[in-house]
Chains A and B, each alone.
Chain A
Amino acid sequence: MHIPDGILPAQVCAAGYAITGLATWYSLRQINRRPDPAAEVPKASLLTAAFFVASSIYIPVPPASVHLILNGLLGVVLGHFAFPAILIGLFFQALVIGHGGITTLGVNASMMGIPALLAYHIFQLRNSVGKPLAEPTRTGVFAFLGGALGLGIAALIFLGLIIFNIPAELDAGAEQTAVLALSLSHVPLAIVEGIFTAMLVLFLRRVKPELLEG
């Protein structure tokens, strides 16, 4: 789910970089407010690499398989480091395997990273809105929401960008139908991603709870 080079007009690419710049600035500001930001850099870096590697895990759904995006999970685990982590991960993907692109790096990072930041905030809500729920249901439910919405919003942005930027000759009605149909087809994927995120977060909660402190 990456937009390759050559599809989007330069203005959209530039806007993507502008949004990425803003989101990176916001994230770095939040990180620098912490008591010891330097201590967290190695942790965030190795987890960035781990997420990059873990996104190659696929879930078998015969006769095909579902690839995970894990951007919601990344937000849940890395907190404010999630945006820089996604930016770096996408930079590697563009360089190492040619997936995505250099001109579209800003657009792709915003598309994946902003939902990840949202997922982080949704997961944090478990301590306020989720209070009435008992543990571990609370953690599971909010991890599911973070994972599913992280992917869901990213998919909506992706489809919107692709549909509205390629075929200039398509009429508005056809475009709306296509967006709706493609969005609906992503609902099961978002649910799978949400369940996977919840399972993983519950596992981390049992085994290494400090990883969820964000």
Chain B
Amino acid sequence: MGAASLDTYVHRESVIHRWTPRLKLISLVGLMFAFATVRQLALVPWMLGLTAVLYGLSGLPLTFLRQRLSYPGLFILALVVVLPLTVGNTVLWQWGWLTLRQEGLMATLLIVGRFLSILTLGFILLGTTPFLTLLHAMRSLGLPTILADMTLLSYRYLFEIAAMLATMQQAMRLRGFGQKRQRWLRVNRQTMEQLAMLAGNLLIRSYEQSERVYKAMRLRGYGYGIKSVVGQNAAAQPCALSWGLAGLVLAAAIALVIAEGILRQ
């Protein structure tokens, strides 16, 4: 599921790695939202530049970004590829029925620019912070106990359940599932029933496991106090470097929003 590669670079030593998680979370999410406000094409290079500087500071290799971007990149490409061909009146280039329109092209550049910048910031955040630390930071920022516990427990069992499903699917295939030829554009009732039972079995197995997990947690004191599984103590006190970085990033975010407002007028 790709999570292994997410955690590969979290233990490096860069400025971004040493940034206090709570401040890093606030600053980078703030910047992501500032990026989402951008509607002027003139600001896109600034946005991409800022992202590139932060990525450079994080010391993450480019291969990491390429790997992570390939799947969501394809998705957005499918979504915006029609825009330059259909939207707008100013024709830039025409070849037979194929017309490239200026307004659509500008909209595409804007969407792709925003998408790349916001997603890269997300990967910087996750690539430099272990998941548990991130959850601690969110908890210290007021994430409700039930949500924090659910996130942690789901994450803990996610890969185990995925492995369970893979084993069950393999067992089905070994017993001949999916061998029969199916007619085009037809949903086979039997196949669907078998898949429903597969999903149902997965739910039942997870449910039964959750009962054992709960008993084990109960024996260790869970549910007797209001304390969460995820503690409140986020991390050490932020250092000057962390505050400085947070200040710079948030200032850039505010500057971007102001520039957007001025350019729009």
Q: Which A positions have Cβ atoms within 8 angstroms of B?
A: 4-10, 13-14, 24, 28, 31-32, 36-39, 41-54, 56-57, 59-63, 66, 70, 77, 81, 84-85, 87-89, 91-92, 94-99, 101-103, 162, 166-170, 192, 195-196, 199-200, 203-204, 207-208, 211
B positions within 8 Å CB-CB of A? 1-3, 6, 29, 32-37, 39, 68-69, 71-72, 75-76, 79-80, 83, 86-89, 103-104, 107, 111-119, 122-123, 126, 131, 144, 146-147, 149-155, 157-158, 161-162, 164-165, 178, 182-188, 191-193, 195-200, 202-207, 209-211, 213-214, 217, 222-223
Total number of A-B contacts with CB less than 8 angstroms? 239
Quick check: B187 and A59 within 8 Å, CB to CB? yes
Q: Which residue of B lies closest to A200 (CB)?
A: B196
User: Which among A47, A57, A63, A70 is the interface contact of B210 at CB below 8 angstroms?
Assistant: A47
Tell me, in angstroms, the Cα distance from A10 to B257 when the chains sit together.
11
Chain B nearest Cβ from A20, distance in angstroms: 11
Which of B88, B115, B146, B202 sits near A50, CB closer than 8 Å? B202
B36's partner among A13, A51, A56 (CB-CB below 8 A) is A13
Chain A residues whose C-beta falls within 8 Å of the C-beta of B178 in the assembled complex:
60
Q: Is the CB of A102 within 8 A of B111?
A: no
Task: Please name all residues of chain A whose beta carbon is closer than 8 Å to the beta carbon of B165 when the two chains form the complex.
Answer: 53-54, 56-57
Give the residue of B1, B149, B184, B191 whose beta carbon is less than 8 angstroms from that of A97.
B1
Chain A interface mostly:
helix
Instruction: Given A6-B112, A62-B186, check contact A42 B69 (CB 8 Å).
Output: no
Please, how many angstroms separate the alpha-carbon atoms of A74 and B123 in the complex? 29
**Chain A residues positioned under 8 Å from B150 (CB to CB):** 41, 44-45, 48, 81, 84-85, 88
A166 engages B83 (CB within 8 Å): yes
Chain B residues contacting A47 (CB-CB under 8 Å) are: 203, 206-207, 210
Q: A7-B115, A46-B213 are in contact. List 17 more A-B contacts (CB 8 A).
A: A5-B118, A10-B33, A36-B223, A41-B146, A46-B161, A46-B209, A49-B158, A95-B131, A97-B72, A166-B107, A168-B107, A169-B103, A192-B187, A200-B203, A204-B204, A208-B207, A211-B207
Contact A5 to B83, CB < 8 A, known contacts A59-B192, A77-B203:
no
Query: In the bound complex, how far is the Cα of B208 from the Cα of A207, in angstroms?
Result: 12
Ranked nearest first, the 5 interchain pairs of A and B with the lowest CB-CB distance are A6-B115, A6-B114, A45-B153, A38-B223, A199-B196
In the assembled complex, which residues on chain A have CB atoms less than 8 Å from the CB atom of B80? 166
- CB-CB < 8 A to A56: which residues of B? 165
Verify A41–B122 contact, CB threshold 8 A.
no
In the bound complex, how far is the Cα of B83 from the Cα of A56, in angstroms? 30
Look across to chain B and name the residue whose beta carbon is closest to the beta carbon of A37.
B146
Contact indicator A13/B151 (Cβ below 8 Å): no
A60: B residues at CB distance < 8 A? 178, 182, 188, 191
* B71 cross-chain contacts in A, Cβ below 8 A: 97-99
Q: A50-B203, A204-B203, A211-B204 are in contact. Are A42 and B217 (CB under 8 A)?
A: yes
